[in-house]
Chains A and B, each alone.
Chain A
Amino acid sequence: MTTASPEVKKAVAIEVRDLAVTYEEAAEPALAGVSFSISKGECLLLIGPSGCGKSTLAMAIAGIIPRSIEARVEGEIRLARELQAPGKIGYVFQDPDLQFCMHRVDDEIAFGLENLRLPRDDMKPRMRSALEAVGLDVGLEARHTVFSGGMKQKLAVASALAMDADLVILDEPTANLDPDSRRHVYDVIRRLKEAGKTVLVIEHRYELLLDVADAVVELGPGGRATVHRRPEEITRRAPRPRRRGATVRAGEAPVLEARGLALAYGHREVWRNVDVAVRPGEWLAIVGANGAGKSSLLEVLAGLRRPTQGEVRFRGERLDRMSAKARHGRIAYAFQNPEYQFLYERVADEMAGRVLGDEVPDEIERELKAFGLAGCAHQSPFGISQGQKRRLAMAVMMRQGADVWLVDEPTYGQDEASERMILDRLDALCEEGKAVIAVTHDLDLVAAHADRVVVLAEGEVAYDGSPDGLLRDRELLRRARLDETAPLERRHSRDAGLEPGRKPSLVGSPLRRWHPDVKATALLCVAAIALCARTFRAEGWLWALVGVLAFAMGWLSPWKLIRRLSPLLLIYAVYLWTFAANAAVPPGTPVAHWLWFRLSWYGVWQGLLVVLRTSATVVLAYVLVATTDGTDFMVGLSESFHLPPKLSYGAMAGTGFLGRFTRDLEIFRMARRVRGREGWWLLRPVRYALPLLAQSIRVSERLAIAMEARGFFGPPAERWNARTYWRVIRLKAADVIAGMVLVALALACLFI
């Protein structure tokens, strides 16, 4: 219960008393009997093992539970009066990609302000001061999709500050970030405290925050809390002990060896001159900042991606000359997202590699138990916890008995127990004389497990040697952006790699200035009318109209249009053939018989009619896409046509997924190839659907929660006029008249 209470002392920001939270289907509460309080301007650190209810607690304080996530909340959360107004509690989520719903920095910050119904004129100063407060030096029109993870988290904090948040909650804000981005986030937390904000941080790697924190709440398993008022008394996590002996068989030839590797995507070079070799019994770590190309290197080493230059050899044999089966049988590969590797609907089937009946063989049960998966046999591999998924993927791979193990981020999304189990397993593999290559951000892990470490930085191998040597070389760590403790230069750190965004669509050709939604409707009508053209004369006139639209009104470059649409020529040629070979001809027309086809010139002409009809609408589509800003289009639906904002902004948020989709699909195909189950190419779209869909559902849930956490619920989400708009999209009489004229012209084309 969240209640207003006059007797709460002014200095107290939040008081939690005897809080218990139980999720709908759960037997046990996620949290029980939690009590503590935070004073204004304090920084509270919330720690504890994964799954102990840290996020649950934070989301209950922010009101996300039970508003967006259904659960039973008992006990009391008292918020100081000034925290009860909308927007006063800001929430920054763990995954930087899953909390934004727009594409540009200004739209993104404005989204929260619109929910608060802030007048448009007041928005810009708020945006600027919020960006300044977090030290994010970018243009307002920059597209945040190209930001690094650290910059995205800064933007998320800035969005909260613009809404005038007094309490900022950061839920594992650095979990997905490289060390360099991490220090940017820590810097923001310090800034927030300096600015007098109350801050609640959930953090797994908390050591660096202990000097900022005023108090620490430690949640234990079962959701009970211990409060430490003196952070310096918190036991720092013990560094991982190094338990491995020397397992490297130095005398033996490398089992996997790469020479002179280079990789480029189009014109962008990722890295060059990369030599990597790993011997039996050796654990090799690959580290580097986000975007350094670590995962790409691992993919090349597995033979999943073709390098631009150089070659990879497995026991002296070139990878690209080995059969896929031999290659993936000898070289195991664990993806960051283990889900992509699952093929079956039950854990036991997955483990066995075939569909089992209701009876699970003892041998399978034993193996599941060995990986901490006892009792999961009949569950869906997609429905178990993140740690369990990773262990299942490992267990399945263990059965294939590979010689080289390539692992992408072995500890990603794991709790400590699960992490330990996986690392121990990898250690054991080294003892058996297998080789392990792991990509990671975690230098502690490198120190405790790796025999050798390769650093990728600035497009090259910047270091190849012992972990100790790397950790001593602070200069190298800084250069490779791996040092999370290095101080930031606050003044001159203009964030690199950003060009100002495109100019707003208010200037430009008549088609650009036309109301986007009216334009789309009118063009769609023209396309519908084009369907009815039955003669060459009518189609000629329609094509003339389309030409005027594209070049006179849209100012499009004919050259670009032709280049863009030329791949379709082949498809249309096939089309023409269909009609030449299959058309019904009037009696008396000459027909050539060949196989079961009946070829006729008459058919070719009929085909040409169809081709002209359809390709006119292709050009119309090009015109629409090339002259319309997607955000204007979606926002206009609410602003001019009064669609509930929930629908237009929700759709807007969903489209962010489009960008991820291509990358997801690529990784997914690799994952299938690794398991030798890429599938018959014709059936691929169907076989790929389930894991891709499961992933997309999770994405949409998180996006929805993040949007609601920014005040997108109730009237501002339901009624178009219960929010303000940053983008001004006016519907003028001229827009509608132009649409009607265009449709009338298209109709006229049919009857001239």
Chain B
Amino acid sequence: MAKWKLREVILMVVLAIVCGGIYRVWDVLYALIPATAYALQGVMTGLWMIAGVMVPYIVRRPGAALIAELVAAAVELLLGEQWGLSNMISGLIQGVGSEIAFLLFGYRVWNAGTCTLSGVLASAAFMFQWYFQYGGDKLHLGTQIAFVLISLVSGAVLGGLLPKALADALARTGALRNYEIAKRSVKSA
């Protein structure tokens, strides 16, 4: 923790705030797209994982995924989401899920593969909460399987590849010159 640069800490919080704001918009959409086809809601779940990939992918430090996802969840909470403290628990377990992917590779591999894995693991972690808390266990088996599969794919795409693409696009704008993401790619180029 002590190795973090101050600008990385602030960047993490600021990005998490932006993500929290995006989550909040997503919360409303999720709730109000009436549950016509339950499993299709799973398509949306991946977006709630973006902070857990985008921030570590930019600052490349252990713990970044977990803290960023937690802070984003806290911001979402302060903006008045509908899940209360359950949302902090989501942030916690999704953050752990995201973190594990990067940990498995010793925080040395930062590519589409690890980002996708990170999104999938975060989504998988959320499936536990969905099953036990949000009533997943009460649904038809077919609905359950469809929801889980769709959510995992959503985690991979919306929660893994999208934030990576966003971070890469940001790096191309030159705004991230002073962060690890730019330094690494310069070296490898």
Contact = CB atoms under 8 A, between A and B. Distances in A.
Interface string B58-81: 000000000000010001011010
Contacts of A712: 6
Interface residues of A, number: 85
Contacts of B173: 345, 380-383, 690, 694
A632 interface: no
A598 B1 CA distance: 52
A693 B10 contact: no
B177 to A, nearest CB: 7
Interface in B125-170: 129, 132-135, 138-141, 143, 162, 166, 169-170
Given A382-B175, A524-B85, A657 B17 contact: yes
B133 A531 contact: yes
Nearest to A613: B133
A489 interface: no
B170 A697 contact: yes
A407 B170 CA distance: 28
A650 interface: yes
Contacts of B141: 584
Interface in A114-163: none
Contact of A617 (B11, B75, B85): B85
Interface stretch (A73-81, A217-225, A469-477, A703-711): A703-711
Is the interface on chain B under 10, 10 to 19, 20 to 34, or 35 or more residues?
A: 35 or more
B120 to A, nearest CB: 20
Interface in A322-348: 345
B178 A701 contact: yes
Contacts of A697: 11, 14-15, 170, 175-176
A607 B35 CA distance: 13
Nearest to B163: A689
Nearest to A719: B2
B14 A654 contact: yes
B88 A582 contact: no
A571 interface: yes
Contact of A700 (B2, B10, B31, B88): B10
B133 A647 contact: no
Majority secondary structure, A binding face: helix
B35 A582 contact: yes
A685 B6 contact: no
Contact of A25 (B31, B143, B166, B177): B177
B89 interface: yes
A610 B135 contact: yes
B7 interface: yes
A610 B75 CA distance: 24
A577 interface: yes
Contact of B89 (A531, A654, A658, A717): A531
A619 B89 contact: no
Given A584-B138, A651-B9, A717-B6, A527 B85 contact: yes
17 contacts: A68-B7, A524-B85, A531-B129, A582-B38, A596-B37, A610-B133, A610-B135, A614-B83, A614-B133, A616-B84, A617-B84, A658-B17, A658-B78, A690-B173, A693-B15, A697-B175, A700-B14
What 6 A-B pairs are tightest by C-beta distance, nearest first?
Answer: A654-B13, A618-B84, A650-B9, A383-B174, A527-B85, A617-B84
